[in-house]
């Protein structure tokens, strides 16, 4: 079973804020990396496609992935500057 390097976040425990500061940016970076890699793979695979409808679907998925990366990146940026999360 997976064991996280830090204990789970519990706001009632002193020091839990440190866990949030250390774990959440790593998790968010992993999300961004995963979506970026998927977008890259889809972008490479689109060259082999001949069906225009399939190409349009892949381009739509890539666009959506870019939007998600932007949103997650903004959350990470705001967290790093101790801004309220939206």
Would 85 be classed as within a structural domain? no
Structure confidence at residue 21 (pLDDT): 74
Asked if the model's pLDDT at residue 22 lies above 90, the reply is no
- Please check whether residue 4 lies inside any domain of the structure: no
29 inside domain: yes
Domain membership of residue 64 as a residue range: 18-80
Number of domains in the chain: 1
What is the structure's pLDDT at 85? 75
> Does the pTM of the predicted model rise above 0.85?
no
Kindly state whether residue 6 falls inside one of the protein's structural domains.
no
Q: What is the mean pLDDT of residues 42-64?
A: 94
Percent of the chain with pLDDT over 70: 81
| Phi, psi for residue 12 in degrees, rounded to 5 | -85, -15
């Amino acid at each position: 079973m997976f064991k996280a390097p830090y204990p789970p976040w519990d706001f009632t425990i002193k020091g839990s804020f440190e866990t949030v500061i250390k774990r959440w940016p790593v998790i968010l970076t992993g999300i961004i990396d995963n979506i970026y890699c998927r977008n890259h793979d889809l972008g490479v695979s689109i060259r082999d496609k001949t069906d225009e409808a399939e190409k349009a679907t892949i381009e739509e998925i890539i666009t959506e992935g870019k939007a998600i990366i932007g949103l997650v990146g903004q959350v990470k940026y705001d967290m790093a500057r101790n801004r309220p999360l939206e």
